[in-house]
């Protein structure tokens, strides 16, 4: 199987919508791979896998470990690894060294950075040195502590202008693709029509060149999901039902049954 490349994705502008889901481990990556163009090892793994309250505590080591696992499961999809909070904002050289580490140690095709205007310079530095960068504008989850919570972006005129300027700056810096998160349809449409790089939306309407969801959200594994999530399965209910049934069977000795039990062979006659 030939793996989808960065130029393949960059070339999807205005074409068939890009299909992207997050993945954090090898078996899930293998299940999603036949259906996805891009598998994103998102720092949402902080919540989805590690029980953290937000993405701020996610480390480079965690991203590398999960990136390696996803690469073992994915065959055809392009794999992109999120750079975690604190690993790229401090300066070009630090960002470069950490991105190189992620690419060398995971084998992933690209990295994703949450990108404000100030980040554009760092993105340009990375891209010029051969690192494929996916941008991320609009709602930026790594800024949760600075912002005191999450709200959709671009609802006021000045915020709209800022998010559009961010997308422009990051695209001009050479990002091959940009995730737009949590913005109104009109702004997502304007960004998508303005920049040459394809846009991948999450809570950003159907106007984008592709869509991404957190896999745990779309499988119904969280007790709460935002408005923009569509649940394609209800695994929470399924897992609860399965665990309850197992517990009941163990307590009433209906599990294991004979078919699930090993028996010793008749001892050979001496």
Q: Which residues are annotated as a binding site?
A: 43-44, 82, 112, 114
E strand map for the chain: 18-22, 38-41, 78-82, 110-112, 133-138, 177-181, 199-202, 210-213
Among 4, 9, 24, 42, binds ligand KIV (CB under 6 A): 42
Region 169-188 residues binding ligand KIV, contact defined as CB under 6 A: 179
Q: Distance between CA atoms of 213 and 188, rounded to whole angstroms?
A: 16
Region 73-92 residues binding Na ion, contact defined as CB under 5 A: 82
Apex 207 CA angle, 71 and 81, nearest 5: 20
Catalytic residue among 61, 181, 193, 258: 181
Cβ nearer to Na ion, comparing 42 with 198: 42
Q: Over 150-209, what HEC string results? A: CCCECCCHHHHHHHHHHHHHHHHCCCCEEEEECECHHHHHHHHHHCCCCEEEECCCCCCC
**Of 27-35, 40-48, 230-238, 251-259, which segment contacts Na ion by CB under 5 A?**
40-48
What's the token pair of residue 160?
């709209």
* Chosen from ligand KIV, Na ion, none, partner binding at 22 (C-beta under 5 to 8 Å by type): ligand KIV
From residue 41 to residue 70, the character string flagging contacts with Na ion as x (rule: CB under 5 A) and all else as - is: -xx---------------------------
Beta bridge partners of 18: 210
Residue 138 in the binding site for ligand KIV (CB under 6 A): no
Among 33, 37, 43, 190, binds ligand KIV (CB under 6 A): 43
Is 190 a known active-site residue?
no
What's the token pair of residue 261?
């039990």
Q: Distance between CA atoms of 222 and 48, rounded to whole angstroms?
A: 8
Residue 37 in the binding site for Na ion (CB under 5 A): no
Region 187-246 residues binding ligand KIV, contact defined as CB under 6 A: 202, 212, 214
**Residues tagged in the binding site annotation for Mg(2+):** 43, 82, 114
Who's near 163: CB < 8 A, 6+ residues apart? 137, 138, 153, 154, 183, 187, 191
CB of 43 to Na ion, least distance (A): 4
Catalytic center residues: 181
- Residues engaged in binding ligand KIV (CB under 6 A): 22, 40, 42-44, 82, 179, 202, 212, 214
């Amino acid at each position: 199987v030939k793996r989808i490349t960065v130029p393949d994705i960059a070339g999807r502008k205005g074409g068939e919508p890009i299909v992207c889901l997050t993945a954090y481990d090898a078996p899930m990556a293998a299940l999603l791979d036949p259906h996805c163009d891009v598998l994103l090892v998102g720092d949402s793994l902080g919540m989805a896998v590690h029980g953290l309250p937000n993405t701020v505590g996610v480390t480079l080591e965690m991203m590398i470990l999960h990136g390696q696992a996803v690469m073992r499961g994915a065959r055809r999809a392009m794999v992109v690894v999120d750079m975690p909070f604190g690993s790229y904002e401090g300066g070009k050289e630090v960002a470069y060294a950490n991105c190189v580490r992620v690419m060398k140690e995971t084998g992933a095709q690209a990295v994703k950075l949450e990108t404000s205007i100030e980040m554009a310079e760092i993105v340009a530095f990375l891209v010029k040195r051969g690192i494929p960068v996916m941008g991320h504008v609009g709602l930026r989850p790594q800024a949760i502590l600075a912002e005191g919570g999450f709200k959709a972006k671009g609802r006021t005129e000045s915020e709209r202008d800022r998010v559009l300027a961010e997308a422009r700056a990051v695209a001009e810096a050479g990002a091959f693709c940009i995730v737009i998160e949590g913005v109104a349809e009109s702004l997502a449409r304007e960004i998508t029509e303005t920049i040459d790089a394809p846009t991948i939306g999450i809570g950003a309407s159907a106007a984008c060149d592709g869509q991404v969801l957190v896999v745990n959200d779309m499988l119904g594994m969280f007790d709460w999901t935002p408005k923009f999530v569509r649940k394609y399965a209800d695994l929470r209910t399924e897992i609860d039902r399965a665990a309850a049934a197992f517990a009941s069977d163990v307590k009433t000795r209906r599990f294991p049954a004979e078919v699930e039990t090993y028996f010793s062979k008749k001892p050979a006659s001496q």
